[in-house]
């Protein structure tokens, strides 16, 4: 199943400047691992030492935060879009 992953500007240096990358995956976790396989170095930015999403990395599937779905195990339907959105802090 093909899914499109939208890449934020801060991570595009690791994707050769690409703003989106298509990967084959059945779940959010598989998609992010496939993204790292195609563009090494992304996993270090996305996952902590326990293999969970870093606290300040938000991932949305069809406008829903995957943390409120099934996390990395959230299934992906063909053609869906996954968006990586770094948290923004400030005042």
CATH of the domain at 81: 3.10.20.30
Position 5 scores a pLDDT of 96
Q: Is residue 67 part of a domain?
A: yes
pTM of the model: 0.91
List the alpha helices (DSSP H) in 3-71.
28-38, 42-46
Specify if 59 maps to a domain.
Answer: yes
Q: Based on the structure, what is the number of domains in the chain?
A: 1
- Render pLDDT for 46-80 as a digit per residue (tens, 0 to 9): 999 999 999 899 999 988 999 999 999 999 998 89
Task: Reply yes or no on whether the pLDDT at 91 is more than 70.
Answer: no
pLDDT tens across 2-56, in order?
899 999 999 999 999 999 999 999 999 999 999 999 999 999 999 999 999 998 9
Range list of β-strands (E), 1-91: 2-6, 20-24, 57-61, 64-65, 81-86
């Amino acid at each position: 199943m093909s899914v499109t992953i939208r890449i934020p500007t801060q991570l595009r240096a690791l994707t050769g400047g690409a703003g989106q990358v298509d990967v084959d995956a059945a779940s959010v976790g598989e998609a992010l691992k496939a993204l790292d396989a195609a563009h090494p170095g992304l996993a270090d930015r996305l996952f902590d030492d326990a293999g969970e999403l870093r606290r300040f990395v938000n991932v949305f599937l069809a406008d829903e935060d995957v943390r409120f779905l099934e996390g990395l195990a959230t299934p992906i339907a063909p053609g869906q879009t996954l968006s990586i959105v770094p948290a923004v802090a400030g005042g």
